[in-house]
Amino acid sequence: MIIAACDDAGLDIPRYCYHPGMSIVASCRICLVEVEGIPKLVPACQTPVRDGMVVHTKSTKAVANQKQVMEYLLINHPLDCPVCDQAGECTLQDYSYQYGRSQSRFEEDKYKKPKKDVGEHVLLYNDRCIMCTRCVRFTREVSGTSELFVDGRGHKEEIEIFPGQPLNNKLSGNVVDLCPVGALLDKDFLFKQRVWLLKSSVSISPADAGGENIYLQHNDGIVYRIKPRYNAEVNTWWISDDTRYSHKPLHAENRLKQATKLQLGAPGFGAPSRVSFTEALEWADTELKRLTTENGEGSTYAVFSPMMACEEAYLLGQYIRSVDPGAVLILGPVPTVDEDEVFKHYLSSQETFRIKAEKVPNKAGVMRVLEMLGGTIQTIDEASTNTKLKQGWIVGGYLSNWIAQAVKFPEGFKVVQDILPNALTEKADVLLPATAWAEKPGCWENFAGKIQAFDAAIPAPEGAMREGDAYMKLLGKPGVYNADAIRAEMGGAFADVKLPAVDETQPVMEFVEL
């Protein structure tokens, strides 16, 4: 289509209803262009290119149409940009600046439509809707759930849900990203931040093994929202709601921030006492070495969480083997539901999206690292009955309470690194507050064997130390944790993994005169 050819060539054609991931309806009419030899303007989104075709995207006729479409769309659209969440990333606002008039010729009263609560995560400000039907097509063609439809005709047209059938599918948040104006809004993000204050960091979803590509959008050390990042091979334009709200535990009130070690003498024998992170780390190292000498080779273990970055797993593996060359390496629990959740096109039944049943991002990557390190590797069940194991290092970092799954660990001295409190952190001989994926760089391998790098978006909470830095200290390696350098050292499949260079250049907004 002409619009896709222009996108490839870097020519900006305005659009509202067109989206490359859905069917073409050519209803908004703002993409009309002039094609030599055709008397009427044609929609760029619906007209295939052919050899020798000459297209004028900024001719007098094309721009006149764009201005008329803008005037028409703004007839009933409220001028509430200052209080609208979409302000700053609204194409209606952008094109209004480019093509619109500074004054309205409309003298009648605007037709007001009500706000609606359409689903668990989504609010509909109906008066801002420009009827592009992207949201309706999404629920039919991608989620396949068809909750949204157009009710009424003409200026009384409204987006609606069927009675008793809210927009509660697991992909519902995507309609907020799709909506070109501020009609569909995310309840969680509502009025939290102005979008121009947010910075974007390249990241990967921690919610499951799918490896969805995302941006973490943050300001002043707080992640406010997660947006999809296009990757044709993984998630295309969409993400699941589990991914979209996976930043919540980062700022949980009960986030662990204080290192502790069990008091050895009176007073307070056996109770956790607060110490600095460095002191706790040194104590963990000293005790692990002492107990390994006492209990013999092969008595130490490390539990690697499938939430860890591959680089961290590699460093921890090196450390634990430096303490005990016969140390047992164990993959931590992998929370999994019965089956993948599959979404299909409502008519063709073609698969459009899949949410993986494995609810951790890096089981494959951690296993790859453990196999690279070699030696004895056991499952958590095997380890729980291995009476030889006496002291160990356990990494958690799960986004919810993972100990609730009745996981058993070998008895004895335990160093625990975790982000949220649970039964294990309460009993830890040494507790080291850990960092979450948004606070450090690294890489994860998804279910399909694709290794993808992510970047740190926000700093580690005060009192915690990035796992990579802690392991570097223990190993006596100079400098700070650098994911690129560690991947180069790891070699193999990790050597070429790089953070993608993301082009975030915005189209230059110019006022277009006739």
Q: Looking at 31, 161, 178, 465, which residue binds ligand SF4 (CB under 6 A)? A: 178
Q: Least separation, in Å, of the C-beta of 463 and ligand SF4?
A: 43
For ligand SF4, give the closer residue by CB, 150 or 377.
150
Q: Measured from the CB atom, is 7 or 158 closer to ligand SF4?
A: 158
Please say whether the beta carbons of 200 and 174 come within 8 A: no
Q: Are 324 and 292 in contact (CB under 8 A)?
A: yes
Q: How many CB atoms lie within 10 A of CB 314?
A: 26
What 3-state class would DSSP assign to 71?
helix
Dihedral of the alpha carbons of 447, 448, 451, 457, in degrees to the nearest 10 = -50
Pick 131 or 234: Cβ nearer ligand SF4: 131
Q: Where are the beta strands (DSSP E) in 13-91?
A: 32-35, 42-43, 55-56
Phi-psi region at 221: left, alpha or beta (left = phi > 0; alpha = psi -120 to 50): left
CB atoms within 10 A of CB 273: 11
432 near 417, Cβ under 8 Å?
yes
In eight-state DSSP terms, residue 83 is: G
Q: Which is nearer to ligand SF4, 173 or 298 (CB)?
A: 173
Is residue 171 within the footprint of ligand SF4 (CB under 6 A)?
Answer: no
Q: How far is the CB of 409 from ligand SF4 (least distance, A)?
A: 49
List the interface residues with ligand SF4, window 24-63 (CB under 6 A): none
In this structure, the number of other CB atoms found within 10 A of the CB of residue 183 comes to 26
- Give the residue, chosen from 135, 142, 209, 364, that forms a contact with ligand SF4 under the rule CB under 6 A: 135
Select from 134, 229, 359, 363 the one that contacts ligand SF4 (CB under 6 A): 134
Question: Would you say 13 or 483 has its CB closer to ligand SF4?
Answer: 13
- CA–CA distance, 230 with 475 (Å, rounded to integer): 38
Least CB distance to ligand SF4 at residue 186 (A)? 13
Q: In the complex, what is the shortest distance from the CB of residue 137 to ligand SF4, in angstroms, rounded to a whole number? A: 9
Q: In what order do the strands lie in the sheet with 32-35?
A: 42-43, 32-35, 55-56
Contact range with ligand SF4 by CB under 6 A, out of 71-79, 179-187, 358-366, 414-422: 179-187
Task: Determine if 179 is a binding residue for ligand SF4 (CB under 6 A).
Answer: yes
Rounded distance between C-alpha atoms, residue 211 and residue 213, angstroms = 6
- Nearer of residues 73 and 307 to ligand SF4, judged by Cβ: 73
Among 57, 133, 362, 422, binds ligand SF4 (CB under 6 A): 133
Contact between 86 and ligand SF4 (CB under 6 A)?
Answer: no
> Taking contact as CB under 6 A, which single stretch among the options 129-137, 262-270, 318-326, 395-403 is the one that binds ligand SF4?
129-137
Could you tell me the smallest distance in angstroms from the CB atom of residue 15 to ligand SF4? 12
Considering only CA atoms, which of 363, 25, 22 is closest in space to residue 210? 363
C-beta closer to ligand SF4: residue 2 or 135:
135
Helix (H) / strand (E) containing 382:
helix 380-384
Q: Least CB distance from residue 336 to ligand SF4, whole Å?
A: 35
8 Å CB contact between 86 and 184: no
Distance of closest approach, residue 72 Cβ to ligand SF4, in angstroms = 14
Among 1, 70, 142, 184, binds ligand SF4 (CB under 6 A): 184
**Which one among 1, 74, 129, 223 touches ligand SF4, defined by CB under 6 A?**
129
Q: How far apart are CA 328 and CA 21, in angstroms?
A: 47
Give how many residues touch ligand SF4 by CB under 6 A: 14
Give me 52's structure tokens.
């020798």
Q: Alpha-carbon distance 467 to 312, whole Å? A: 7
Is 130 a binder of ligand SF4 (CB under 6 A)? yes
- List 131, 252, 275, 502, residue binding ligand SF4 (CB under 6 A): 131
For ligand SF4, give the closer residue by CB, 130 or 367: 130
3-class secondary structure, 498: coil
Interface with ligand SF4 (CB under 6 A) = 129-135, 159, 178-181, 183-184
